[in-house]
Amino acid sequence: MPSEQYLKPEVIQQVARLDLRARFIVEGFLSGLHASPFHGFSVEFSEHRRYTQGDDPKDIDWLVYAKTDRYYVKKYQAETNISGLLVLDLSESMGYTHRQEMTKFQYATCLAAALGYLMIHQQDPVGLMTCDTQLRTSLPPRSKRTQLGVILAALSKATPAGQTDLAASLRQAAAMIRHRSLLMVFSDLLCDSEPLIKSLHLLRHAGHDVILFHILDEAEVHFPFDGLVDLRDPESGENLVLDARGIRGDYLEALDEFRERYRQECSRMGVDYVPLDTSLPFDRALLEYLSQRQARF
């Protein structure tokens, strides 16, 4: 099977165990990455960074130069470690799927597991927080290989249910985190945007890096419905019957405005905003993590 097949949600869905899902996603991604020109990056050079003016030429790794035709210097230990936190939204709306395939929550869980796998592979400390109206799970970052099993076990037990207050949970997380960290937040963002944007500002003001993975179901993005549709808010239980064809244009316009608001706000505060839907291959999210990691050095 070609490596890119491992990155397709419909393939990953056939794998029952979360640890194998994470492994297939990362190994498929890295296999493709080795053949790509992505900033000259491959995992065997993860302990290096590109040579920049002011670096001591004596630190150039000539073996890496021979393989890449680019100048790299070995990073010091203080540069290589990045403390990561996976933050997963447990709201009931995350359990939605239109075609009864991979839910938003399952997609987010696979991404979180894969990023945890990748960070442990790079010997970076990584932890996990899950939240609804408050933090439910809080595993502090560690880099030991046993940490991956602890994270995967917690992810496997997590289920989306009830309402959410992601903004309050992020404020709570900000008060708990003692060291500068990279927070990877997975949510459909179906909540009040103003408090959430303020919480993201708070994290950035405290010196943390943030990647916001905005995960929607493919039906929420493409609105494939026709005729009368009965829409239910999973968190309030309210139902609304609408003519799909009549509202399709307005819905898609509102969705564009919704995403653009977050894109602009995140850009202003230096948060990486990654809009995804459950039909997209997983490599887009993993590339965002590597882009953020590279940008730190």
The CATH number of residue 224's host domain is 3.40.50.410
Residues 279 and 247 placed together within one structural domain of the fold: yes
What's the pLDDT tens digit per position in 253-288? 999 999 999 999 999 999 999 999 999 888 877 887
Same domain, 205 and 96: yes
Query: Domain containing 201: what range?
Result: 82-295
Please give the DSSP secondary-structure letter assigned to residue 7.
G
Q: What is the pLDDT of residue 41?
A: 37
How far apart are the C-alpha atoms of 95 and 84, rounded to whole Å? 25
Query: What pLDDT, on the 0 to 100 scale, is given for residue 7?
Result: 66
Per-residue pLDDT tens for 120-168?
Answer: 888 889 999 999 998 999 999 999 989 999 999 999 999 999 888 999 9
Give this prediction's pTM. 0.80
Q: By 3-state DSSP, what share of the chain in percent is helix, strand and coil, each rounded to 5?
A: 50, 20, 30
* Domain C-terminal end among 78, 104, 129: 78
pLDDT tens for residues 2-60? 445 556 787 787 777 888 888 878 887 777 654 443 333 333 444 566 666 667 777 77
Closest CA to 28 of 89, 109, 117: 117
Residue 116 lies in a domain: yes
**Number of structural domains, the chain?**
2
**Of 60, 78, 96, the domain-final residue:** 78
CB 97 within 8 A of CB 278: yes
Same domain, 58 and 170: no
For the chain, the first-to-last Cα distance in angstroms comes to: 35
Helix/strand/coil for 198 = helix
On whether both 167 and 257 belong to a single domain, the answer is yes
User: Do 277 and 144 belong together in one domain?
Assistant: yes
Same structural domain for residues 61 and 90? no
CA distance 59 to 73: 5
| Spatial separation of the C-alpha atoms in residues 200 and 242, rounded to whole Å | 34
Is there a single domain that holds both residue 64 and residue 103?
no
109 and 226 both lie in a single domain: yes
Total Cβ atoms within 10 A of residue 175 = 10
Asked if residue 73 and residue 96 are part of one domain, the reply reads no
Question: In what helix (H) or strand (E) does residue 189 lie, and over which residues does it extend?
Answer: none
Check: CB of residue 182 under 8 Å from CB of residue 208. Answer: yes
